[in-house]
Structure 1
Amino acid sequence: MSDRQIDIKKILIIQTAFLGDVVLTIPLIQEIKIKYPDAVIDFLCIPSTSDLLKNNPGIRELIPYDKRNSGLRGLADIVKKIRKEKYDVVISPHRSFRSAAISYLSGAADTVSFDKSSFSFLYKSIVKYETGIHEIQRNLRLLLPLGIDQQRIIKPELNISVQEKRKIDSIFYEHRIREDEKFLVIAPGTIWFTKRFPEQKFINICNLLTGLETRIFLIGSKDDKKISGFIVNNSRFRNFINLTGTLSVMESAELIRRSKLIITNDSAPMHIANSMKTDVCAIFGATVPEFGFYPYGKNDKIFQTDNLKCRPCSIHGGAKCPVNTFECMMKIDEKEIADFVKMKLS
């Protein structure tokens, strides 16, 4: 880490992307607080991700921005609020034009983002978007203009409240789950269809686990309830506890923390599990780990289909397979995943 010290008192971080992106931005807060313990840090995010940050002791103020529904008036209101704060530095890991515009209009002495960001010329300090490294390491490069040179993967710290822990305690009590019980969590949903392991293949995994003395928790947002319900209703495995759509983000994080293993797509639960030090079974379809969004725990395992000419087809995934085969997911062997689960739960 650099010894360079700059007089910085107020910092704004802009990350208005999805939940997983916010998880991978949290190490910026941690590293800034080490170098500048007295600095004030505010965080601009969308309302649906704010729950993840509400207990973070490094953040003074969470600024929710409903970018999808507030239009130009909402953008103007956010800029007005930010300008009043007179930030010394605005840092934007999010690479959108909207984030660039907010940063440019913020009035901050310095604004920082990547050279690959939309309208990057609007930023005062531009950092090279490095490939071949984890997204956490890439985001931490944005701290170079602040004199912070941290090159390791820093585990995001998620701060779970007493109330959130008690919610999981009550679920354990209801289902008579012992504190030392080994159980599996499955997070079957994701926003992007081509990043989602097919429901029938999740069912096949669960069927292969029939007879295993364990419980399977299903988690996800309200949008994932149909997927989880289909898995429960069509599997021979009967020892499910389906909590999809009933837990907050941080309650889900606490459940993941207590689990032995999570099966997840390339999505937010994977990054939350790494933060909670829970082993990960990650399934990659349209995207590839080389993008930098891979699990980094020493016992984590990735399942994917290699040597497909059509893969990756996009950095985020999409609404449909562009070649109408979905081979990236369909060729993944459910038995290999089930065998890995059995090994981890034995």
Structure 2
Amino acid sequence: MLQFRTMNGTNTNPDPAPESILVIRLSSLGDVILATPVIRQLQRTYPDAIIDVAVREQYGMVYTSNPRVRRVWNVAPSVTADSDMDNWKLAMLDTVPGGRYDLVVDLQNNVASTAVRHGLGMHTVKYPKFRMQKLAMVWLKKFPSATTHVIDRYRMALANYPLALDTDGPELWLPEERASGVYKPDPSRRMHGEQPATGTLEGLQIGISPGARHFTKRWPAESYGQLCAQLVRMGARVMLVGGTADTDACNRVANVAGVPVQRADGATTLDATVRALDACDVLVGNDSAVMHMAAARRIPTIAIFGSSVRELGFTPYGVRYHIVEYNIRCRPCSHIGRQRCPQKHFKCMLMTTPNQVMQAILKLV
């Protein structure tokens, strides 16, 4: 195995003006999207620096059209082998002036990202994972007095750098936006700017995203279907949004709804989902990657939280939103979600009603 020497593994005495930066966030899709504000702020702070990203190959599409990123280094499963990892790193460093990044920013901070970052940078920083705080919330139900969003935690990795901070949300660039250099989700699609809510749904297009990776984060399809029927009766248009993994859930929602709904689920590309979201005035969905995609496109969002709690730091960011949740002692049962309810009652989702979600929508619009 080739030996790569790390010049500095801490965030002390940083290079005041790095000319080459590698940002590592390998997975999952929502977390990769939430890393984009740090990349924006690095680019604004160091406009002459090259910025590369390392990401699992299935999530590299997040950065394909991002003009702030010079190159996306996809981490395929084969890269985990020592010989392939060495070759992958050598190919990467051959493209970097000086043969090593001035700064490596590890926003994953786990065994896999440690293996990826080893030897690549003159300086390396990593974000604080707040492990003990998350464990205290899950097992002891002890919550912090103040909530720190994961985007702000990512920025903590660069505390010793004069980062040009902003309060903008994540980004998902479309190819035409990259060509123009202007990130501009269509403002005509937004709901009333900062004006008071109108309380009417007539003519609005409501995106419905019933999917989520983990069972305990999914509001039942039957509840979504009942909500869709109510929305259509009140004059709204409904669009089901999601990827190929969400098609079964969307089929169940459509069957329960029994009213005409548009289908934009089954999308095979990120751009297709982004364009579907851009056609919506509001998104209703679970704590999922689509929720963060909507925030990236500045779509006001109703997020339905089951096993999730806002104190974990994954609420929509940089956009108007409302959380609908049923407060029960066993939440959160996990900091990422589970494939079954450990209490076997699933009250966190089953006790959340379509009427409660409807009231949240009316307050937001």
Bin for the TM-score computed over the shorter chain: 0.7 to 0.9
Q: Is the 8 A contact 1:5 1:147 kept in 2?
A: no
Pairwise mapping of residues 1-20 of structure 1 onto structure 2 (< 5 A)? 6-20=16-30
Q: CA RMSD in A?
A: 2.6
1:146 paired residue number: 161
**Partners of 2:340 and 2:84 in 1: CA distance:** 32
Return the TM-score normalized by structure 2.
Answer: 0.78
Cα distance between partner residues in 2 of 1:291 and 1:19 = 17
Deviation digits for residues 298-334 of structure 1 (CA, Å, limit 9, x no counterpart): 641100111x221101111011111111111111121
The one-character-per-residue Cα deviations of 1:138-160 (angstroms, maximum 9, x if unpaired) are 1112222333273x533223221
What is the identity percentage for the equivalent residue pairs of Structure 1 and Structure 2? 26
Normalising by structure 1, we get a TM-score of 0.82
Instruction: Give the letter for the 2:336 counterpart.
Output: H
* CA contact 2:23–2:51 (8 Å) conserved in 1: yes
Gaps in structure 2 of 5+ consecutive residues:
1-13, 132-144, 179-201
* Partner residue in 1 for 2:7: none
Relative contact order (C-alpha < 8 Å, sep 6+): which is higher? 2
Deviation at 1:76, TM superposition (A): 3.8
Residues 211 and 286, structure 2, Cα contact 8 Å, conserved in 1: yes
Q: Paired residue for 1:101?
A: 115
Is residue 65 of structure 1 aligned with residue 85 of structure 2?
Answer: no
Post-superposition CA distance 1:128-181 (Å, at most 9, x none): xx972111111112222333273x5332232212499xxxxxxxxxxxxxxx95
Q: Are 1:200 and 2:222 matched, yes or no?
A: yes
Residues 95 and 116 of structure 1 are in contact (CA less than 8 Å); yes or no, is this contact kept in structure 2?
yes
Give the drift of 1:104. 2.2
For the Cα contact (< 8 Å) 1:187–1:262, is it kept in 2? yes
Contact kept? 2:127, 2:153, Cα under 8 Å: no
Write out aligned runs for 1:124-163 (5 A).
Answer: 132-148=147-163, 150=165, 153-162=167-176
Cα distance in structure 1, aligned partners of 2:304 and 2:48 = 41
Gap change, CA 1:154 and 1:162, over 3 Å in 2? closer
Q: Go from structure 1 to structure 2 and tell me whether the alpha carbon gap of 1:141 and 1:214 turns closer, same or farther (over 3 Å shift).
A: same
Q: Is the 8 A contact 1:52 1:250 kept in 2?
A: no
Residue 243 of structure 1 aligns to a residue whose secondary structure is strand
SS across alignment from 1:105: coil
Output aligned runs, 1:41-190, within 5 Å: 41-67=51-77, 71-72=80-81, 73-84=83-94, 85=96, 86-106=100-120, 108-116=121-129, 132-148=147-163, 150=165, 153-162=167-176, 182-190=204-212
CA 1:131/1:99 → structure 2, altered by over 3 Å: closer, same or farther? farther
198-207 vs 183-192, greater mean Cα deviation = 198-207
Contact 1:260/1:344 (CA < 8 Å) preserved in 2?
no
1:220 matched to 2:235? The reply is no
153 and 138 in structure 1: CA distance in 2 versus 1, 3 angstrom threshold: farther
Report the Cα distance in structure 1 between the residues aligned to 2:90 and 2:55, rounded to whole angstroms.
16
Counterpart of 2:72 in structure 1: which amino acid?
Answer: L
In the comparison of the two structures, how many residue pairs are matched? 311
Instruction: Report matched runs for 1:304-323 at 5 Å.
Output: 304-306=325-327, 308-323=328-343
